[in-house]
Amino acid sequence: MCVFCSRSRSPLLHLLCTCALLLLLLMWSHSVSILSLLPRLLNVVFGIIIDSFGELRMRNLAIKHDMENNCFICGVDRFTLDTKGGGFPLHIRKHHNMWLYLYMIVYLREKDPTEYNGWEQHVANMLAQEDVGFFPRNDAIALKEVKNREEAESRRYMGQVASTAERVADIAASVEKLLEVMTGVASRVNATAAGQAG
């Protein structure tokens, strides 16, 4: 950021400040011909212009990338909507169509407030307070359905794991009892064999 226009990020103002500084330096020095410094001055000006256009282009690319890969209404990214929300194109065309939201706002402004129903009154009140809290943020019904389905599957798997663990515990208890019986039988066999030998 320019030290002479630190309160502004305007490329044009930055350019004017730089030119003014260079002219002041030239007037102050008096020892150098303005014509001899003109090529350097032009190089500085052209460099600033190129940098400004490069910055503007990068900013426009970032905006374009955001528009093409994030829902304008809820802000959810394309990858999440493609994998869990039924697809990004379907989402921005049907689920969160920004033009339908604009239509709703215009519709509410045109409609007689005495004829509002419940949700229309709610949204109109929020619009009057410049509150956009009625817009979904990082949320969508399609994502909730997938999330609920994943949670149901997770609960089902956890139930199966718990059932399997109970069965394994039962088998382990049975094996332990069987070992005790076998140990008792082996002791009696050994005692009987010792008695016969005696």
Query: Residues in the site for Zn ion, rule: CB under 5 A?
Result: 71, 73-74, 96
The 3-class secondary structure across 22-80, one letter per residue, is HHHHHHHHCCCCHHHHHHHHHHHHHHHHHHHHHHHHHHHHHHHHHHHHECCCCCCEHHH
For residue 8, give the amino acid letter.
S
Cβ closer to Zn ion: 15 or 74?
74
Least separation in angstroms between residue 91's CB and Zn ion is: 6
Between 15 and 76, CB nearer to Zn ion: 76
CB atoms < 10 A from the CB of 183, how many?
10
Structure tokens at 35: 């014509």
Residue number with CB closer to Zn ion (52 or 80): 80
Nearest distance in Å: CB 175, Zn ion: 56
Dist CA 145 CA 143 (whole Å): 5
Q: Which is nearer to Zn ion, 139 or 151 (CB)?
A: 139
Q: Which is nearer to Zn ion, 28 or 99 (CB)?
A: 99
Q: And the tokens for 176?
A: 């332990």
Q: How far is the CB of 128 from Zn ion (least distance, A)?
A: 24
The distance of closest approach from Cβ of residue 61 to Zn ion in the complex, given in angstroms and rounded to an integer, is 22
Both tokens of 96, joined, read 């969160």
Smallest gap from Cβ 45 to Zn ion, in A, equals: 45
Question: 132: which residues sit within 8 A by CB, 6+ positions away?
Answer: 126
